Amino acid sequence: MQREEKQLEASLDAIIMRVNDLKTSIASMLVKLENEYETLNWPTFLDNFALMSGHLTALSKVLSNEKCAALRSLAVLPLLLSPERDEELVRLTERRVAAFAHDHVPDLLRTRPEPEAEARLALLEQRAANMSYDAAQKQVAAMNKVVSLVWDLISEARESWENEVGARAGVAQTSSVADTHALVAAVGMGRGLKQSSSGGPQNNNGVPGAGGMGNSVAGGRGGMGPGQQQQQMGQMSKAPSAIKTNIKSATQVHPYAR
């Protein structure tokens, strides 16, 4: 008897743990649907749905495990009903149930659907049983046609999307970010530009040394007179002779001459 009680407690602890995980994922999904419905996208919704599906699968594995106690053979009976507030019950139910009263017991310990839902289910089962085989096959064929049409639409949209993505990836790139940065640095800061062969600065027209020569000539001529300018031009026009000459005066004064 003690062994069965310990096995039941372990099974209940494992079930409660899985149920809490499932409850947390459902609460997170509800919060996103209520607060992030404008920015919530389809992949995020599918991820949350897959998480809930995983928790349900884990709960099913725990219930179908051989070590889990056979809960179907157990019955839950209310031992005490009270209309007063029970703090322990409030804590266990996360403030959803304040008292284990007579009006809550039928809903909390229900093992069958509600009478209205049970009546509607019985009506649907009766309609399905009275339907002929040909009518059922026609409805199945119509349903399959609708599903096939939706599947074709989804497949075409997926193919067009994949083709568009492949076309974007196959377009050759016509620009280089590194070359653009190098060009901007060369134009703005002169980075990477080589100096001219003369080593002098370049003017705005790209002629090396032209600006400096013009400035020096202009400055030299500005301080000269007209005669000096002609003399300088004459000296520049005459080529230097390679023959040395010694010119002597024709008349010399003798110191003892009378």
Q: pLDDT tens across 90-103, in order? A: 888 888 888 888 88
Q: Report the pLDDT value the prediction gives residue 230, as an integer from 0 to 100.
A: 54
Q: Which of 87, 84, 77 is nearest to 101 (CA)?
A: 84
Long-range contacts of 69-74 (CB under 8 A, 24+ apart): 69/4, 69/7, 69/8, 69/11, 71/11, 74/8
Q: How many CA atoms lie within 13 A of 198 on its CB side?
A: 9
195 pLDDT more than 80: no
* Helix and strand counts by DSSP (H, E) for the chain: 9, 0
Q: What digits encode the pLDDT tens for the residues 199-223?
A: 544 544 444 444 444 444 444 444 4
Mean pLDDT of 66-70: 78
Q: Between 157 and 233, name the one with better pLDDT.
A: 157
Does position 59 have pLDDT exceeding 80, yes or no? yes
172/229: higher pLDDT: 172
Of 15-29, 169-183, 195-209, the range with the highest mean pLDDT is 15-29
Predicted pLDDT of residue 71: 80
CB-CB contact of 213 with 198 (8 Å)? no
Confidence of residue 22 (pLDDT cuts 50, 70, 90): very high
249 or 54, greater pLDDT = 54
pTM across the whole model? 0.42
Give the chain's mean pLDDT: 77
**Structure token digits, residue 176:** 């280089």
pLDDT grade for 235, boundaries at 50, 70 and 90: low
| Mean pLDDT of the 148-168 span | 87
In whole angstroms, give the CA distance from residue 220 to residue 213: 11
Residue type, 152: D
- Whether the CB-CB separation of 66 and 84 falls below 8 Å is answered with no
Of residues 207 and 23, the one with the higher pLDDT is: 23
The runs of H, that is alpha helices, within 131-189 are 133-170, 177-189
What are the tens digits of pLDDT across the range 26-39?
988 888 888 887 78
Q: Read off the tokens for 109.
A: 């310990």
Q: Which residue has the higher pLDDT, 17 or 106?
A: 17
Q: What is the pLDDT of residues 103-134, one digit of tens each?
A: 888 887 887 888 889 999 999 999 888 888 89
